[in-house]
Structure 1
C-alpha cells in the first residue's frame, strides 16, 4: 500500500484524516509525543512518528529514514485568536513557526522521498486563507503564506501533485477556543465535522493519477 504521513494526527481533523486513509494507506502518524497520539496509533494499528515542527533536529531525525513517501498531509497548526491591535509579535512568530516555517521545513526535508514516489502533498488551509475573519489576524496571514508556498511548490515541482484544502469552520478544540474568544455559545451543529472534511481529503488523494486537484473549498451547508 502507498504510505501517508499526516501531521497533527493526535486529534481533531488530523486523527480523522488518518482514520479515513487507514483502509488504503500505510500510515505514519506524526506529532508531538502524547497519550492522544498513542491512542490514535493503537486504534488504527499504525506507528507514531515523533515530530516537533519548530525543531529542525526533530524534522531531520524523522525524515532521514524515508526513501519514498506517497502522501504528505500537512494538518498541524496553531491559532491565537485576536484582532491586529490585540496581537503581539510573539504570537505572530509562534503562529508562523508552526503553520508556515514548520510546513516548509518538513516538505523540503521530504522532497527527495516525495519525488521518488511522484507523490502528493496536501495542505489543510482554512477559509481564513482566502478571506480573513475578524479576530484571526496572525492565523489568516499564516494561511495566506501557506497558500503561496503550496502554489510555489506546484509550479516548481511539476512531478508532484499539490492540493490545498480550504475547509470552513470545523468542530474541533481550536473552534471552541475561537467561539469562546468571540463570546458566543458553542453549537457543534453549526460546523463541519472532522470526518466530513477527512473524507473530502481522502477523495482528493484517491484522484486518478492523470489528474491533479489544485484546490478544494468546503463549507458547512446552510
Structure 2
C-alpha cells in the first residue's frame, strides 16, 4: 500500500468509531478533510496526524507550522506522546511558535515520561547542553540512558560521552562507556568504533575484561533498532 491510500485508510479508521458509516476517502485531499472532521470531534490521533500534514505540507497545500502547532497542542494536552514531542520540536526550532527552549523541554519531558525514546534523547541533550534548562549531567545521563536502553545508537554514544566526562578517576564509568560505544558501533554507528578503540587503549586488562562482559550483557538486554 502506498502512503496516500494508507493515510486515507487511517482517516477512515479514526472516524469509524463515531461517525456515520460512509465510503472511505479515495484521495489524499479527501483524507485530510476526514482528519479535519475527526480532529474537530476531539480525536488526538487525528489532531496529531493532521498537524503533521500541515507541518510537512500535504494535498498541495503550503506548509503551515502555526496550524500544526495548534493541532499538536490539542493532541498533546490529551496525552499524545508523539504530539508532545512534535510540539516540543517546534518550540525548540521556533517554527510556528515563538522559540522557547524551556517550553520545548517541558513537552519533551511529558513525552519522555511516556517512554518515547526520541523525546528522552532530546531531553537528555537539553540538560547536557543547558538549553532551556540548567545544565545537569546526572539528569542528562538519566535520559540518555533511557533512550539508549531502547536501542537508540545516538543516545548510546551520548551516554558514553557523559560517562567519559566524569573524568579519568571514575574508572567504572569508563568501563561502562566503552561498552556503550561498542554497542553503538555494533548497531551500525561507524563513528562510535574509533571512540571505543581510543577509550579501550586506556583500560587495563581487568577493566577491559569487565567492559567486554558489560558489552555482552548489553547485547542481550538492549534491542538493535
Is the TM-score greater than 0.5? Answer: no
Larger relative contact order, structure 1 or 2 (CA cutoff 8 Å, min sep 6): 1
Could you say which structure has the larger radius of gyration? 2
Q: Which has the higher helix share?
A: 2
Please indicate the TM-score interval, normalised by the length of the shorter structure. Answer: under 0.3
TM-score w.r.t. length of structure 1: 0.27
